[in-house]
Amino acid sequence: MSEPLLAFLYFFILLTAFVAVFLDDLLSSFISLSVTGVLMATVFALLRAPDVALTQAIINSGLITSLLLVAYSHTRRTPLPSGPCTACPSWLRWPLAALICFLLAVLLFRGMYSLAGERALETASTHFLAETLRETGALNVVAAILLDYRAFDTLGETTVIFAAVAGISLLLSGGKHVRSRQGLSFIVKRGMALLTPFLLLYAASILFLGHLTPGGGFQGGSVFATVAILICVVYGTGFDASRVSSKSKETLEVGGALLFVFIGLLGAAWGGGFLANLKGPFFPGTPGSLFSGGNMLFLNLAVGLKVGAGLSSIFYVMIKILEQEGEQ
Amino acid sequence: MIIMSFATVAILFSLGLFTILVQRNAFKTVIGLTLMESAVLLLFISWAYIPEGWAPILPLKGSGVDPLPHALTLTAIVIGACDLALAFAFIMKLNGFEKTVDVDSFRRLKG
Amino acid sequence: MVQRYFIFTADRRVLALLAGILVLAAAVYGQGYFKKTGERRFFSGFLFLFLLTVLGAVFSALWLGFLIFIELSTVALFILIAMKERNVAFRYLAVQLAGAAFLLAGIAGAGIKGPVLFGPVQPPFFPLLLAGLGVKSALLGLHFWLPEAHGKSPAPVSALLSGIAVKTGVFGLLLLTGGAYVPSLSAAGAAMALWGAFQALLQRDVKRLLAYSTISQLGYIVAALGAGGVLSVPAVLYHAVTHGLSKGMLFFCAGILEKAYGTKDFSRLGGAAERLPGTCILFFIAAASMIGLPGTAGFASKALLKASLIDFPLVSACLLVANIGTAMVFCKMSAFAFGGVQKSRYLHSPECFRFMNAGTAVLAPLLLFSGFFPGILPAFLGSTGHSFYTVPKCGESLLAAVCGVFLFLFLKKRLRASATRVRDIDVMSERFPNMIGNGARIVQRLQGGFLRGYLLTAALTALILMHLFS
Amino acid sequence: MMPLLRFLGSVCILAGVFFSFAAVVAILRFPDVYTRLHGGTKALSGGALLILLGSMPYAGSSLGALKLLLIAVFFLISNPMASHAIARACHRRTLFKNFSHFSSETPIEGESMRE
């Protein structure tokens, strides 16, 4: 493991973070934030965490930045009142905050330093690494943990996404969507026409091979959402709305969640308890083949549906508001 | 090597907190939040790394890296993304009311 | 189950007897005091609930049981007071709950190893329990709630309040000290006796006068309690009983006066003797017992008190002076309330007076009976062989009464509806509400609504704590 | 055979690094959006392509090398497209009115998506 490369990456992460914080121009601080995300993804990859790197690259540096830009372009920013902030003068606030953060950093570092002893695998992890193939038939241990050993938490997680989507569409409800919106130029449209199938293929591969190679429901779903956003941007919301209406997005989302619960119930039906793998219709199959991880494939599909539809409907709701702004 | 990543985590986290404490723009607060969250992610992963470990994909070529924190981090990233999206929605809504993005102008929660 | 949580020893039965009699008298009195039948039913309903909770408190074997039942009795009293004065009731409840907080803290602390028996407690938690019970039994510094609670609540309720509620607090103190000698308590008792009598002399309102005299009589009890020794338990309980009965009668008479003349102020009271002869006689019986004239229960309990304070000359001297003061107080009340010319209109309603007089009359024979046979109650409590009617004791009490009367006649003009009011700590209970008011204003200024301000303070405190404890 | 390929690969990577460096200089030095955009994108796509191609022999399996090639192709398609979109957006926003001598087609109203 190359030590200097990691040090270099850490330095750049901190550099871009500082830039993102102290730059006055918001747009460029957003971009440097996404650069931090990308660098973080490379660090994760170097630290032997491919799944997390993939997710980080897609969600934190991809989706979040696009949502950030949409939110930024929507809010009408009247210039900040330059007067001294009334709560407490800035000359007092900056040093005080700096002191607090420095103390916090010292404390955190001291705490972590005492932790940094010799690292050995705990019992749980050794069990996971040794038994996953036999117990779940999946090759990707992380996906096995997520979808088999701790499937219930993943269900909880999908409900969190559901809650976020519901919250956002509640907050930003109202405002109708303008149909006739031309997208970008002809060249970009044709280019996208060429690229979209490959993107979709890539998303499907992440989704369905989640239990074999790094990937899974969340990453696949997010890539689908990104593809939806790209189409929305390139071809304009008119084209996109006629293709996949918001109603169908909702049904997809709810369908994903229900599929997840249904698979869980299937496990319970065969006496294995809610979300039990390798029970009834689900069999371990030959490791490495597509239908090998018991119900993990279908769970991935359910989560993918949910996350894809959810995130794209978030983007869709935000976009919709924007269009309404554009009209006045 | 671990010490270096722990140092980065500490600095990144306190930087995020510093942003939230100092900056008056709501978007900068969101940036601060993102930094703090990614610091935590980095802590998880660098804590899970074992020097000669391989990625937790079977069949393992050598000793594996600790897969449990990876699963936790995955969940953390997704949930972090959700609440950031909510934060954007809040900012857009508040901007609708207050017509500015200055955090000090959101003073409805008075004592 | 009952055996483990409740004990029925002799001293608890005495207090329960007192509570029972007073509640019975109050029930009869209440029929006359309240006009509307709804109020009467409501009053007697909660009255017996109050009795139940007091019995629970008195008989409980564990400190926790005692705390629970005493708080229930506070709630019952709160409801009874709230019939007439709502915010007084709230203040009373607030103060009592504060006391209960101390009590609970002490009990929790003491009870770490196991349920704490209702008795002496290890040193570190003694002050906590002392403070909690001090609020309940209106010790010197903690008596600010008593004058206001007595002054404004309905007559039967204030009779209960000073007759039983304070006594359960004192009973707690008795078991807390468990016969040990606590110098601070006896000093506090003497001081309470003097201060109560002094303040009572200067009051314009009948009920506040009686409230302060309750405080002075409590001073007697607490002094005996602090002195400790084998005699302390019978002396404390005997005086508690006599004070409960006579103070109950006095509050009933005050209630009758209030109903008859519609006022409690001395300046507008007067000439009640020829209008309410029965009440006047009952008043004199109770006053005699309070002063401790021979032949009444007061004399016997005061003699027993003096016997238990033999080796504390200073304290007994203070109590003698307080006794003179008490005599002056009741001369003042009889002169201004019953004697003199009638100043305000007399609202004639014989049937309600019949009930009220009957209620008061229930208590009178008990006082006289235990006056003529003083040895019965101490014998019941297990300490016999006291000679009550000896020449020096009678001489001493008569002397105190006589010079009390002469002093009053001498100072009569100054004590008439005296405007001079020595500020007492109970003024604080009036300032209680607006203290909370400007507290809220300070909080408002602090919470300016700046989210970052909140975060800054939160982060700072979190950090300091982490540094302290890490 | 493999060491020769490795040598050629490293030469390609070095060329790629030089192109990236040129891109950075271009972005810093050029006066306005269009020239800066043009310099940045062309050099960058050139640099990234070269690095990718150069690292193909270093990839573990031949499948890995194929994947790198795929990335290069994708990069070749998307990068110019993106820069075209940005340039057109800037033009239609008529950010630089003083460059009116350009044959500006009728700018379509409505806010374009800022990417």
CB neighbours of C215 closer than 8 A, spacing ≥ 6?
C138, C143, C146, C192, C195, C196, C199
B99 CA to chain A: closest CA distance, Å?
A: 7
Which chains are adjacent to chain C, needing at least 3 Cβ pairs under 8 Å?
A, B
Residue-level pLDDT at C68: 92
Same domain, A51 and A134: no
**Taking CB atoms and an 8 Å limit, are C448 and A86 in contact across chains?**
yes
**Taking CB atoms and an 8 Å limit, are A110 and C470 in contact across chains?**
yes
First to last CA, chain C: 47
Judge whether C465 is closer than 8 Å to chain A, CB to CB: no
Judge whether A65 is closer than 8 Å to chain B, CB to CB: no
Same domain, A157 and A64: no
Same domain, A149 and A194: yes
Place of tokens 């269900």: A155
Where chain C has pLDDT below 50, the residues are none
Asked if the model's pLDDT at residue A83 lies above 60, the reply is: no
Contacts of B8 in chain A (CB under 8 A): 10, 13-14
Same domain, A139 and A68: no
B48 CA to chain C: closest CA distance, Å?
A: 24
**Taking CB atoms and an 8 Å limit, are A111 and C460 in contact across chains?**
no
Judge whether A73 is closer than 8 Å to chain D, CB to CB: yes
Would you put residue D112 in left (φ > 0), alpha (ψ -120 to 50) or beta?
beta
Among the residue ranges A266-270, C289-293, C339-343, D105-109, the one predicted with the least confidence is D105-109
**Taking CB atoms and an 8 Å limit, are C449 and B21 in contact across chains?**
no
Query: Which of C452, C460, C467 shows the shortest C-beta gap to A87?
Result: C452
Same domain, A258 and A325: yes
Residue-level pLDDT at A327: 37
Residue-level pLDDT at B42: 93
If one counts the domains in chain D, the total is: 1
Same domain, A60 and A135: no
Distance CA C199, CA C415 (A): 12
Residue-level pLDDT at D104: 45
**Domain residue spans in chain C?**
1-177, 179-429
Based on C-alpha coordinates, what's the Rg of chain D? 18
User: Does an interface of 3+ CB pairs under 8 Å exist between C and D?
Assistant: no
Q: What is the ipTM of this complex?
A: 0.66
A236-250 pLDDT, tens digit each: 776 655 566 777 888
Amino acid, res. A52:
V
Judge whether A3 is closer than 8 Å to chain B, CB to CB: yes
Judge whether C452 is closer than 8 Å to chain A, CB to CB: yes
C463 CA to chain A: closest CA distance, Å?
A: 7
Judge whether B106 is closer than 8 Å to chain C, CB to CB: yes
Interface of B with C in 79-98 (CB under 8 A): none
**Taking CB atoms and an 8 Å limit, are C463 and A100 in contact across chains?**
yes
A86 occurs within a structural domain: no
Tell me if residue C265 falls in helix, strand or coil. strand
Domain with residue A48: its CATH number is: 1.20.120.1200
Residue-level pLDDT at D95: 54
Residue-level pLDDT at C70: 92
Residue-level pLDDT at C436: 78
The answer to whether residues D85 and D115 touch, using CB atoms and an 8 Å cutoff, is yes
- Tell me the sheet residues that pair with C265: C205
Quickly state the pLDDT bin for D107 (edges 50, 70, 90). Answer: very low
Residue-level pLDDT at A242: 55
Interface A-B, measured as beta-carbon pairs within 8 A, has a size of 279
**Taking CB atoms and an 8 Å limit, are C455 and B108 in contact across chains?**
no
D111 occurs within a structural domain: no
A10 CA to chain C: closest CA distance, Å?
A: 26
The token pair that represents C414 in the structure block:
């100054």
Distance CA C383, CA C307 (A): 12
Same domain, A204 and A245: yes
- For A67, the closest chain B residue by CA position comes to B85
A225 occurs within a structural domain: yes
Contacts of A233 in chain D (CB under 8 A): 113, 115
* Buried-exposed string C161-181: b where 16+ CB fall within 10 A, e elsewhere: bbbbbbbbbbbbbbbbbeeee
A81 occurs within a structural domain: no
- For C463, the closest chain A residue by CA position comes to A104
Same domain, A236 and A272: yes
Would you put residue D103 in left (φ > 0), alpha (ψ -120 to 50) or beta?
beta
**Taking CB atoms and an 8 Å limit, are C448 and B110 in contact across chains?**
yes
D106 occurs within a structural domain: no
Contacts of C463 in chain A (CB under 8 A): 100, 103-104, 107
CB neighbours of D72 closer than 8 A, spacing ≥ 6?
D48, D49, D52, D53
**Taking CB atoms and an 8 Å limit, are A20 and B35 in contact across chains?**
yes
Residue-level pLDDT at D50: 92
D107 occurs within a structural domain: no
Where chain B has pLDDT below 70, the residues are 107-111
Asked if the model's pLDDT at residue A73 lies above 90, the reply is: no
A124-171 pLDDT, tens digit each: 778 888 777 777 778 888 888 888 888 888 888 889 998 998 898 888
Task: Give the pLDDT mean for D7-12.
Answer: 92
Judge whether A316 is closer than 8 Å to chain B, CB to CB: no
Residue-level pLDDT at A152: 86
How many other CB atoms sit within 10 Å of the CB of residue A113?
Answer: 14
Contacts of A107 in chain C (CB under 8 A): 463, 466-467, 470
Q: CA torsion sign, C68 to C70 to C75 to C76?
A: positive
- For B64, the closest chain A residue by CA position comes to A129
If one counts the domains in chain A, the total is: 2
Residue-level pLDDT at A85: 56
Interface with chain B: mutation pick from C445, C451, C456, highest number of B CBs within 10 Å: C451
Task: Give the pLDDT mean for A191-196.
Answer: 87
Interface A-D, measured as beta-carbon pairs within 8 A, has a size of 33
- Tell me the sheet residues that pair with C60: C6
Task: Give the pLDDT mean for A65-88.
Answer: 71
Q: Please name which of C115, C152, C108, C151 lies closest in space to residue C132, comparing C-alpha atoms.
A: C108
Three-state helix/strand/coil letters over chain D: CHHHHHHHHHHHHHHHHHHHHHHHHHHHHCCCHHHHHHHHHHHHHHHHHHHHHHCCCCCCCHHHHHHHHHHHHHHHHHHHHHHHHHHHHHHHCCCCHHHCCCCCCCCCCCCCCCC
Same domain, A99 and A148: no
Q: What is the largest CA-CA distance in chain D?
A: 59
Tell me if residue C368 falls in helix, strand or coil. helix
Query: Which of A182, A195, A233 shows the shortest C-beta gap to D115?
Result: A233
Asked if the model's pLDDT at residue A279 lies above 90, the reply is: no
Which chains are adjacent to chain B, needing at least 3 Cβ pairs under 8 Å?
A, C
CB neighbours of C431 closer than 8 A, spacing ≥ 6?
none
**Taking CB atoms and an 8 Å limit, are C449 and B108 in contact across chains?**
yes
Contacts of B33 in chain C (CB under 8 A): none
Which residues span the domain enclosing D49? 2-92
D66 occurs within a structural domain: yes
Q: CA torsion sign, A216 to A221 to A226 to A230?
A: positive
Residue-level pLDDT at C420: 61
Q: CA torsion sign, C190 to C192 to C193 to C194?
A: positive
pTM for the structure as a whole: 0.63
B67 CA to chain C: closest CA distance, Å?
A: 30
D29 occurs within a structural domain: yes
Query: Which of A188, A198, A326 shows the shortest C-beta gap to D81?
Result: A188
Residue-level pLDDT at C186: 86
- For C442, the closest chain B residue by CA position comes to B111
A190 CA to chain B: closest CA distance, Å?
A: 31
Contacts of B103 in chain C (CB under 8 A): 451-452
Residue-level pLDDT at A175: 63
Interface of A with D in 289-328 (CB under 8 A): 326
D33-62 pLDDT, tens digit each: 788 888 888 877 888 899 999 998 888 788
Which residues span the domain enclosing A59? 1-76+92-119
Same domain, A227 and A321: yes
